[in-house]
Structure 1
């Protein structure tokens, strides 16, 4: 392997607890650096036959080399080859070589397995940005057509990563919510099962239209056409998947699914540019509204428990939700006032006597 300029990774400082790992075991920094260098070179698309032969010799020279390579392959699998316009693809493949190697080297820090990589992707904003093929910002709704013809609608602050390689068409919901209308392409691609993954498990589509929302420690699924099968990731071995039919909604955790309920307009409201409120506490409402805007949004504890109902318009698809207008409507429904220091700093307080 010829020498080239690389990003040097310093040895972990004593007492910092930082440890390079791959496959669940510690890894020497020089091996991680070499693996990142080879990965960048080979996936850049310009590797010569001589370089590929040199890589093969390096890979087979030591078990640690093969372990480091497999570690990178398993973690970056969602980024490879499918969507050349995706954020993750561009971030890893279009970045300068040194920057790309730095990102790859970071994948060895504190992550020993593919499951650990999944944890990073779903819990850390930086890795959500790296892994996502499609993502939306605060207050946005974005519509995309996937390679198999599936229609994808992303809600606010949402992100997905795609992997349509055999044995399935897999979409990983990294954060937020999405509406899927599955496609049925002819040929080999159409024969692959369509699966949505979240931190809590897998949802297999059975020719359907459905929504999936990633909450903290829970996933919500609502079906509007067809059916889905739900497999919690830590369900008891041999347990039967939950079948969810059109008109049903369910919340499931890593070990089990809750009792299904009736799905209706409330579950689809976000996809139609609406925020649906049904006897909801004001503080919970503002948490949800905060997903649609940036900045500081708080509520006075004196009015946090007030309950109300309503349907609030958020704006047209392709634009940014007008949350200021929603906040301005609150005093007409509740004895509150909205105090603005700026667009980025808003507090909802009790209305002054005589102001409501």
Structure 2
């Protein structure tokens, strides 16, 4: 379907309802991977005809896709959704994200051929489903989980988590302890400590497995000492009461998800972190408990195992768009 562009369609509107934009992005993904595109185009036409907002959202998502080629990669679909629904300050941030992707795309060939990518080692990131292990100059080991971005200072004594999740092991006899920064606060590791730090939308979760770490929220005057076996969530202003942490929570560094009676909705949200595209769950299935050990790199097999163990079935529009439904 070739939607007609309105005179102002070159300007990005950013006040669409989130569910409308989500559907428009899903149509793009479905169209790009469809074995029967004519049926998808007919469905899109019907959807656009149902509402002027549907048509305008489709036009702008299609425009972004055609102009930048971004939505051909499901990992970038969320950027399109955020661009069309964000308020002005965060919209500028999201548009900077588009620019970063465009720059990365344009220099990808040159980087592969000339080794320029090595110049970017102070700005390290992983894609969906990718993990990466680093050893810093001071001997600290850092593992980046899926969709994670970090920055390092020149001395490697301070690491900033921009998004995602990291697992950090500080050297037992290190002369200079490493510091971790996030948008929510500052963490000082003691020598020989091992911890995981995960950035959520408006807070962080810190889990200490060995040693100890001192946490100071960004806008707080006091700090908290977190010892081995303890975890907390914290914002820029405060931390939550300490809770116990399981050692197998860090199984992701070995490529596994280990869960015990986790509600299916939460499990699917975890699995989605490692799988590009759209993975939806019918709300009626949300409370089913899931236990076991599941490989991060084999999400298709994990979904098959869930279908065998629980009364659910998969509806696949494309390989990037799956909905789990009751049998």
Q: TM-score, normalised by structure 1?
A: 0.56
| Structure 2 match to 1:139 | 129
Matches for 1:1-356 after TM superposition, within 5 Å = 124=97, 133-165=123-155, 169-183=157-171, 190-191=175-176, 193-207=177-191, 208-235=193-220, 237=221, 239=222, 241-303=223-285, 305-314=286-295, 321-351=297-327
Contact kept, 8 Å, 2:263 with 2:290, in 1: the verdict is no
- Distance in 2 (CA, whole Å) between partners of 1:266 and 1:306 is 22
Query: In 1, are the aligned partners of 2:150 and 2:162 still within 8 Å (CA)?
Result: yes
Deviation (angstroms), 1:338: 1.4
Shift of 1:276: 2.5
Q: Once the two structures are superposed, what CA deviation does each residue of 1:221-261 show, in whole Å capped at 9, x if it has no partner? A: 111221100010111x3x2x100111111111111111111
CA distance in 2, matches of 1:225, 1:302: 39
Q: Is the 8 A contact 2:151 2:160 kept in 1?
A: yes
Q: Distance in 1 between matches of 2:301 and 2:260?
A: 19
Query: Is this contact kept in 2: 1:162–1:170, CA < 8 A?
Result: yes
Unaligned stretches of 5+ in structure 2?
1-11, 13-87, 105-119
> Greater share of helix residues, 1 or 2?
2
**Contact 1:226–1:245, Cα closer than 8 Å, also in 2:** yes
Q: How far apart are residue 132 of structure 1 and its match?
A: 5.9
CA separation in 2, counterparts of 1:311 and 1:199? 33
* Structure 1: distance between partners of 2:236 and 2:312: 39
Q: Let me know the Cα RMSD of the aligned residues.
A: 3.0
User: Per the alignment, in what secondary structure is the counterpart of residue 216 of structure 1?
Assistant: coil
Displacement, 1:126?
Answer: 5.6
Q: Is the 8 A contact 1:308 1:333 kept in 2?
A: no
Please give the per-residue CA displacement for 1:55-101, whole angstroms capped at 9, x wherever unaligned: xxxxxxxxxxxxxxxxxxxxxxxxxxxxxxxxxxxxxxxxxxxxxxx
After TM superposition, the score normalised by the length of structure 2 is 0.61
1:203 is paired with a residue whose SS is strand
Q: In structure 1, what is the equivalent of residue 107 of structure 2? A: none
Structure 1 residue 263 displacement after superposition: 1.4
Cα separation, 2, equivalents of 1:242 and 1:346: 43
Shift of 1:195: 0.8
Distance in 2 between residues matched to 1:177 and 1:311, nearest whole Å: 22
SS of 2:284's partner is: coil
Cα distance per residue 1:334-354 (max 9 Å; x no partner): 211112232111110001xxx
Return the alpha-carbon distance in structure 1 between the equivalents of residues 272 and 290 of structure 2.
18
Q: Deviations over 1:123-168 (max 9, x none)?
A: 9576698896222111122111112221111111111110145xx8
Q: In 2, distance between residues paired with 1:283 and 1:222?
A: 22
Q: Distance in 2 between matches of 1:251 and 1:210?
A: 13
Q: How many pairs does the alignment contain?
A: 222
Farther off after superposition, 127-136 or 156-165: 127-136
Aligned residue number for residue 65 of structure 2: none
Please state how far the C-alpha of 1:120 moved relative to its aligned partner. Answer: 5.1
